[in-house]
Structures are given as C-alpha cells and as structure tokens.
Structure 1
Amino acid sequence: MSPPTSTAAPFDYDAALMACARGDRQAFQQLYQRESRYLMGVALRIVRHRQQAEDVLHDAFISIWQRAESFNPALGEGRGWVYSVVRHAALNMVRSGARQVSLDEDAAEAVDDSASLAAYAAAGDPFELRADLGRLHGCLSGLEPARRDCILYAYVEGCSHGEIAERLQTPLGTVKAWIQRGMRALRECMG
C-alpha cells in the first residue's frame, strides 16, 4: 500500500516573494497568513515578550514587503529568507537594549509546545514530514560537529553569532564561516 499523498500543492515561497517585489498585495497576504503564527513563535523565542514579538513581526513584514526585490532564489530558499528577516529583526531589538522580560520555564515550555504542535498540524502529510526530518537528521549528522552545533544554536535556540562564539569559545569570524559553510552543505544535501 502506498503512503497517502497530500492534495494541496506546496506553497511556493520564492514565487510569493517575487510577486511581492512586483507589488502583488495578495501574494503578500498569503505569505502573512501562511507564516505569521510560526514567525511570531520565532520572534517570541528571541525577545521573550509578546508585545515586543508583535512589534518585531510587524516591522519584519514591512521589511519583507519593502525588500522583496532583494530576495535572490539562487542564494537560498524564500522561506529561509523570510525567517532570517524576522530572526534578524528580533536580534536587533534585543541588541538595541529594548526591555526584555523573561518567561518563566513553564511559560517558555508552553510557547515552544504550542508552536511545535501548530507547525506539526500545518505540515500536511505526516509521511512526507517524517521523510524530510529523516533527511535533515542525516544531513546534520554528516556535518562536522562544530558546524552542526553552530547551526543548531543559531536556528533552533535563536542565539546570535556572538552568543555562539562565546558558548564555543571560538572567534566570531570562525563561527560565521562555520554557519555559512554548514548551511551551504545542508542545502546541497537536502537539495
């Protein structure tokens, strides 16, 4: 028996960003409706305060709209570009000295759990999700441990490059290079 297949076509982030660059408000609205709840989780994980996370999300989507023409599909996937805009906006808010309110452990765990459940529910076909996660795990396992750790600190834990350098007691430039090379290797492996 063959695994069930999803009837809905996957969302084309690259095409949506290129449409936004042409001023297509409907493409922008679709992008917002599809990703805003997950991007809110990314922002909240970094800034730790709901109002600040909402501000980050608002500012990031304005930036996405205004800078969509700078997206280059040859340099990476559209979804990754959108997430990096939000992540950088959140890190910039933290760096600028904005007031930070920490969530207690239970609240942080609840935020993480609800974001994970929402992402799982929206992922579509469970078979395809497991297959993609299996490939990602295999690709991550193939990376040099230091590069893998840098990527996980940056994209899973939301650490800045400086925080990663401090954790690993490694020069900042080295950390940046490891992340860049590691991401390139992951794209090639997953491609």
Structure 2
Amino acid sequence: MADGRTDPATIARERLRDAMVRLADGDSAALEEIYAATRVKLFGICLRILGDRKEAEDALQDVYINLWQRADRYDPTRASPISWLATFARNRAVDRLRTGKVRSGAVPVEEALPLPDEAPLADALLVDAERTAQIHQCLSKLDENTAAHIRSAFFEGYTYAQLAEAADVPLGTMKSWIRRGLQRLRACLEASEAS
C-alpha cells in the first residue's frame, strides 16, 4: 500500500511543483515538463470557456507564454500547482473573451451577461452532495492504491499514462487496475442506491 508520499498523485504533484519552482528560477526545460503534465487539463478548461478548438489552442499558447514570463508569481505554499495553473488558464480564456480576441464560436462577453443562470438549484446541489458522499464512501472501501489512482485520474485530471509512469507499471496494467476499481466502485454505488 502506498503512503501519502508515494502514491502516484502525490508524486506527480511534487514533480509539477518542483518544475514550477525550477521554471521560476529560469530553467527552460521545466516548461516542457509542465506542458507535458498539464496541457490536456488546461486545454479542456480553455475549450469549455471558449467553445472553439482553435480559440482554445490560442488561449493555451497564451497560458504557457505568460507562465514563462510570470512563473515567479507561483507560491507553492498557497496553492497546488495544478490548481494555480487551472485558475491561470481560466483567466486567460476569460480575458480572450473580454478583449474581443475570440474570432468566432464563443458568445461575446456583453451578450453572455443577460443569459439565464445555469447554476443548479439548491435541491440539485443536495442530490449532488449526497451522490458525492456516496462516491467517496465507496472509494474508501477500495484498496488504497486503486482509490488513489481513480482519484488522480478522475478528480485531479491525470492521464492513465502519467499514472502508469508514476507507478512504474505498463500503461495496460494501469488501465486494468482502474477499470477493475471502477467496476467495484459501480457495484458499491448500485448497492447503496438499492438500500
């Protein structure tokens, strides 16, 4: 069983934190590591906000250019690296909307203001909270490694390849572990819903 210092998510987070610190010190190789570890998650954030693949790619490029210039602003004592980078990506995408850099696809910020609030109603939030509690309860019933891999993949945005590398196992093995864990998780959730 992995302890808090050796589970794949912790290892990946520490590697990313180290790369961020090295980038702030001017190590250009660290930017490549950060890009490889975060591009999928950050692209997803930009795409969700901008609604256009090309615009999301442009915003992502802005993210890494700005990161190179402002890496010294990252404070590892205040935020996890992926949380800070996700906020950074979100802000860059929103800035593109506000400054009118978006060519097509996304709704202009001025037109987006009167759109109805899509936030879920209170009763939906309660149902979501209950479902989240069930998921975490069922996750706690899995063995520690499997639960850590599932959390890393689905809650923290790590790819199976990143998890396999961190655990030093073949990609197929990691996929099998997570697939079997998800099957046990699903069975647990179905059992809790039936009771």
TM-score norm. by structure 1 comes to 0.50
Match of 2:90 in 1: 87
Are the equivalent residues in 1 in contact too, given 2:43–2:56 (CA < 8 A)? yes
Task: Tell me, in whole angstroms, the C-alpha distance in 1 between the residues paired with 2:32 and 2:20.
Answer: 11
Task: Tell me, in whole angstroms, the C-alpha distance in 2 between the residues paired with 1:84 and 1:11.
Answer: 16
Q: Deviations over 1:146-179 (max 9, x none)?
A: xxxxxxxxxxxxxxxxxxxxxxxxxxxxxxxxxx
Give the Å deviation of 1:131: 5.8
Are the equivalent residues in 2 in contact too, given 1:94–1:100 (CA < 8 A)? no
- The structure whose RCO (Cα within 8 Å, separation 6+) is larger is 2
Of 18, 21, 43, which residue of structure 1 is paired with 2:21? 18
Of 51, 61, 65, which residue of structure 2 is paired with 1:62? 65
Structure 1 vs Structure 2 CA RMSD: 3.1
Are the equivalent residues in 2 in contact too, given 1:44–1:50 (CA < 8 A)? yes
Q: Which has the larger radius of gyration?
A: 2
Give the Å deviation of 1:10: 2.5
Match of 2:148 in 1: 128
Give the Å deviation of 1:34: 1.1
Task: Tell me, in whole angstroms, the C-alpha distance in 2 between the residues paired with 1:11 and 1:57.
Answer: 20
Amino acid at match of 1:10: A
1:1-191 alignment to 2 at 5 Å?
9-12=11-14, 13-97=16-100, 98-101=102-105, 126-130=146-150
Are the equivalent residues in 2 in contact too, given 1:48–1:100 (CA < 8 A)? no
Task: Tell me, in whole angstroms, the C-alpha distance in 2 between the residues paired with 1:38 and 1:7.
Answer: 17
Task: Tell me, in whole angstroms, the C-alpha distance in 2 between the residues paired with 1:82 and 1:95.
Answer: 20
Are the equivalent residues in 2 in contact too, given 1:47–1:100 (CA < 8 A)? no
Q: Which runs of 5+ in 1 are unaligned?
A: 103-124, 137-191
Give the Å deviation of 1:44: 0.4
Give the Å deviation of 1:96: 1.8
Task: Tell me, in whole angstroms, the C-alpha distance in 1 between the residues paired with 2:40 and 2:30.
Answer: 17
Task: Tell me, in whole angstroms, the C-alpha distance in 2 between the residues paired with 1:44 and 1:23.
Answer: 29
Amino acid at match of 2:70: R
Q: Call closer, same or farther: CA 1:82–1:132 in 2, change over 3 Å.
A: closer
Task: Tell me, in whole angstroms, the C-alpha distance in 1 between the residues paired with 2:49 and 2:146.
Answer: 28
In terms of mean alpha carbon deviation, does 8-17 or 88-97 score higher? 8-17
Task: Tell me, in whole angstroms, the C-alpha distance in 1 between the residues paired with 2:81 and 2:8.
Answer: 22
Identity between Structure 1 and Structure 2 (%) = 28
Q: Call closer, same or farther: CA 1:129–1:18 in 2, change over 3 Å.
A: same
Give the Å deviation of 1:73: 1.6
